[in-house]
Amino acid sequence: MGKIQLMDEWLSNKIAAGEVVERPSSVVKELVENAIDAGSTSIEVFLEEAGLSFIQVVDNGSGMDESDAMLCFSRHATSKISKEQDLFRIRTLGFRGEALASIASVSKFSLKTSDGESGIEIQLEGGHLVDKKPGSLRKGTDITVSQLFYNTPARLKYLKTIQTELSHSIEFMNRMALAYPNIAFKLVHNGGTLLHTNGRGNVQQVLAAIYGAPIAKKMIHFSGESKDYKVYGYASLPEVTRASKNYISIFVNGRWVRHYLVQKTVIDAYHTFLPIERYPIVVLYIEGDPYLTDVNVHPAKLQIRLSKEEELLPLIEKTIRECIRNAIHVPIVEKKLKPARPQTEQMNIWKSSINETKLEQIVEKLSGGSDVVKESEGAENVQEERGTTPAVLEDDWVLPKEEFQQEPQVEASPIMEEEEVVEERKEPFPQLEIVGQIHGTYIVAQMEDGFYLIDQHAAQERIKYEYFKEKVGLVNPNERQTLLLPLTFHYSQDEMFILKEHREALEEVGVFLEEFGTNTFLVREHPTWFPEGFEQEIIEELIEQVLKSRKTDVKKLREEAAIMMSCKKSIKANYYLTKEQMEALLEDLRKAENPFTCPHGRPVMIHFSTYEIEKMFKRVM
């Protein structure tokens, strides 16, 4: 007699439960997803002891008739797919038909369901039918799972504490509430409500229910679209951060998934906006043809494969990054030409821009004959003095003005004049008046409403980062400096092999390696804009980046190079500046693309409003 035999259905269900039902949250996941697929607009989940002793899921979906209710506990019984082609265009959360059979095999299971015309109530224990009787006609389904894993005690030994198991169920319910804001979700544990959403379709209201209203107010909407994908959602302002990546929620066609590359792309979109090891809160919705996604990868269906990632990932990064840049209110100046005003209109505008006292003084001067020439000469001298560039430190920590790309000057024609139009922002870079310096580290500058503390190192780090980022992106052969004594770098044979393979990428960031013997590289030249005295250190760190990852990302290398050079070259703490030097620093900061954070994501300036100051001194209630 042969050794191979067909497995009993009850035993096969129990084995399948080992993959599908890992913990109480797995039961919650499968039952809630079934309720969503049934078209429910209200789903309530009740737990006791984190679900180990009691789980109840009540919905108002389509329900089932008696024949479907009896069949749903059979393995691979599903209403989601009927033919092979359906497997490649899955639009529902469930499709395998294993969940109910697996859950029922390791628990005491009760099902009450009705399609509005007939109702039925079924009781099972360990997958075996115990009782069946007519039920109420309330449309929808009510499932109760008690004594989970009562017949598989080995599984109970591997469960965590009540708090840990409950946290998994809370996390899942939070994700579902975000994925389906048009469904009212309720989660109750031991009689206490942990989550309650109204189902009105407002994502920010769901965010408020999960994270609190203050956080929800700091979430900004973004959206973008390509030929095959549409991405949209909400992203937190850079000031709102978390220590874990777990606050990035990714939904693909309504399914909550974990996708490493998409998560990494979201984090890259915040590059230089967040401190190191801090992460944003992001809710990302991705919509596309189901044919582009493969969800049949893992039993838990949390991992998927995406087609055309080379199109999707840049779309996500660009959309979120533009959203963040716009949200930090960096002013954008555009040059526009408009028809010149008539001379009389120009005179009226000029008159209205100065007060009456000043106008009387000018008229008096004009009537003074020769005094007119003296006043004109004096005005020119004053204008020249105001136009002079403030002095810089001897160590040249302020970037030379010529290193900033200046916009071409447009000569005004007889019928056209130049107008400077500033795009409106709620919080543009403020007009600041220098007050002084604290501990040689922080600049104090006041404005109409309170004052700012500016970190001088972070401020110049941002200025130089944007300067070096442009330089590294365009390594010019004419901007190289030949060394009198070449720099030497020694590496092992395997490291030499890696560096040879990625030599071209290193050259794109200004590292020109030349083989010299078996374990040595020489660098005979480097870009002139490498910070003086730090050339060898920067080259070593860039090489270490390649050796560490064993692959080359030119974009990332350029970022690392720009950040390193900006940090090395920036003024340090405990360095006292003159008022002119502080003014020059703030003027350069004003021109930066993002003047509010340094390349590492730390704040450059902190604002203290007049109200906050008066409140600290108990001058307001």
Give per-residue pLDDT as tens, 51-76. 999 999 999 999 998 888 888 887 66
The tokens describing 510, both together, are 């200004």
Work out the percent of the chain whose per-residue pLDDT is above 70.
74
pLDDT interval class at 411 (50, 70, 90): very low
Q: Predicted confidence band at 340 (pLDDT cuts at 50, 70, 90)?
A: very low
Instruction: Tokens for 495, please give them.
Output: 């490291």
Look at residue 551 in the predicted model and tell me its pLDDT.
Answer: 64
The residue-averaged pLDDT of 223-244 equals 91
Structure confidence at residue 70 (pLDDT): 87
pLDDT at 621: 63
Tell me where in the chain the CATH 3.30.230.10 domain(s) lie.
218-327
pLDDT of residue 356: 46
Q: What is the pLDDT of residue 230?
A: 94
For 478, the token pair is: 């004419």
Rounded to whole angstroms, the Cα distance separating 144 from 606 reads 53
| Alpha-carbon distances of 452 from 55, 177, 300, 571, 612, rounded to whole Å | 54, 40, 51, 19, 12
Yes or no: say if 567 and 469 are a contact pair by the CB < 8 Å rule.
no
Q: How confident is the model at residue 408 (pLDDT cuts 50, 70, 90)?
A: very low
Task: Please compute the mean of the pLDDT values over residues 371-376 and round it to a whole number.
Answer: 40
Task: Write the class of the CATH domain 431-621.
Answer: alpha beta
The answer, yes or no, to whether residue 282 has pLDDT greater than 90, is: yes
**Taking residues 577-603, what's their average pLDDT?**
88
Residue 90: CB atoms within 10 A of its CB come to: 20
Poorest-pLDDT segment among 125-129, 284-288, 361-365? 361-365
Q: What is the pLDDT of residue 57?
A: 96
Which range among 166-170, 267-271, 510-514, 541-545 shows the weakest confidence by mean pLDDT? 541-545
Give the pLDDT mean for 126-140: 89
Residue 275: its pLDDT value, please?
Answer: 82
418 against 102, higher pLDDT: 102
Asked if residue 379 has pLDDT above 60, the reply is no
Domain with CATH 3.30.565.10 in the chain: 9-196
Give pLDDT, residue 350: 44
Q: State the CATH architecture for 9-196.
A: 2-Layer Sandwich (3.30)
Q: Amino acid identity, residue 233?
A: G
- CATH 3.30.1370.100 domain residues, the chain: 431-621
Question: How sure is the predictor about 36, in pLDDT bands with cuts at 50, 70 and 90?
Answer: very high
Confidence check: pLDDT of 398 > 50: no
What is the separation of C-alpha 255 from the centre of its chain, rounded to a whole number of angstroms?
Answer: 20
Mean pLDDT over 506-535 rounds to: 83
Q: Mean pLDDT throughout 285-303?
A: 76
382, pLDDT greater than 50: no
Predicted confidence at residue 376, as pLDDT, reads 38
Q: Is 235 within 8 Å of 220 (Cβ atoms)?
A: yes
pLDDT of 109 reads 93
Question: Which pLDDT score is estimated for 195?
Answer: 92
The stretch 496-502 carries a mean pLDDT of 81
Please tell me the predicted confidence (pLDDT) of residue 503: 84
Question: Is pLDDT of 262 > 70?
Answer: yes
Query: Is residue 85 exposed (0-12), middle (13-18) or buried (19+ Cβ within 10 Å)?
Result: exposed
Query: Does the structure show a pLDDT above 80 at 375?
Result: no
Residue 228 burial (10 A CB sphere; 0-12, 13-18, 19+): middle
Lowest mean pLDDT segment, chosen from 248-257, 295-304, 479-488, 509-518:
295-304
Summary mean pLDDT of the chain: 78
pLDDT(228) > 80: yes
Average pLDDT over residues 374-394: 38
Average pLDDT estimate for 235-256? 90
Q: Does the pLDDT at position 201 exceed 90? A: yes
| pLDDT at res. 229 | 93
Q: Tell me, what's the pLDDT at 552?
A: 63
Over pLDDT 90: what percentage of the chain? 29
More confident residue, 196 or 242: 196
Between helix 535-549 and helix 493-501 the angle, nearest 10°, is 90
Task: Provide the token pair at 200.
Answer: 């009105």
Distance CA 577, CA 437 (A): 8
Helices (H) and strands (E) in the chain, counts: 20, 24
* For residues 583-595, average pLDDT: 88
The string of DSSP letters for 220-252 reads EEEEEE-SSEEEEEEEE-TT--BSSGGGEEEEE
**Which stretch of DSSP H or E encloses residue 430?**
none
Query: Does residue 122 carry a pLDDT above 60?
Result: yes
Q: Distance between CA 36 and CA 175 in Å, rounded?
A: 13
Pick 530 or 180 by higher pLDDT.
180
303 vs 515, more confident: 515
CATH of domain 218-327: 3.30.230.10
The pLDDT value given to residue 164:
84
Identity of the residue numbered 382: V
Report the predicted TM-score, pTM, of the whole model to 2 decimal places. Answer: 0.64
